Amino acid sequence: MSIAEKSARGIHAPAALFSGHRIGAMILRHLYTLRRSKLRVLELMYWPTMQLFLWGFISTFFIEHSSWLARAGGVLISAVLLWDVLFRANLGVALSFIEEMWSRNLGSLFVTPLRPVEMIASLIIMSLVRTTIAVAPAAVLALPLFGTWAFSLGLPLAAFYFNLGAVLAKDVFVSNSPMSLIG
């Protein structure tokens, strides 16, 4: 049976759960916004780098003035960088959504065939892009300045990023559920 015959009989193909083209379009929209403002990109990199300097110098002080804390210097800097990854990932989802509200574009988006799942997927991917832009310079600076390479964690670091994505997805789905609107 051809597609035209199925259409004539009222038999339609099931709709796909999500469209990669729509998700890509949303990501591209946010990338254009990010690329347009160099100050926004600079601000993304500024705070993680400042936290690296602050906690790096604090850990250097601890290393010089305490014998038992001397071994924990790299752990402290790595922990601060991972905490900043968690914070930036959460902030990335929130800011991307708030930008849609600020530009009064949210209503226009939901008039289009964009599904909420596609919007959430694009927000999560954009959050990971923002987090990478924010934390990568600080992580690279940690090696020459403080002798700490946060990526030496290996497989646990990959598990951390996987859990981060799962938590972001859960938080977005739970906060957008109908039950959250009631109470």
What is residue 178's predicted lDDT score, i.e. its pLDDT?
Answer: 42
Q: Environment class of residue 40 by beta-carbon count within 10 Å: exposed (0-12), middle (13-18) or buried (19+)?
A: middle
Q: Output the six-digit token pair for 97.
A: 């959504």
Half-sphere exposure of residue 8: CA atoms within 13 angstroms, side-chain side: 5
What is residue 181's predicted lDDT score, i.e. its pLDDT?
Answer: 39
Region of 148 (left: φ > 0; alpha: ψ -120 to 50; beta: rest) is beta
Report angle CA 144, 141, 167 to the nearest 5 degrees.
Answer: 135
pLDDT along the chain (183 residues), means of 10: 57 63 87 87 88 82 70 69 79 79 76 80 85 85 80 76 72 52 40
What is residue 180's predicted lDDT score, i.e. its pLDDT?
Answer: 42
> Tell me, what DSSP letter sits at residue 151?
G
CA distances from 112 to 19, 115, 119, 125, 134 (A): 13, 8, 11, 20, 31
State whether the Cα torsion 10-13-18-24 is positive or negative.
Answer: negative
Per domain, the residue ranges of the chain are 25-175
What is residue 59's predicted lDDT score, i.e. its pLDDT?
Answer: 78
pTM for the whole structure: 0.69
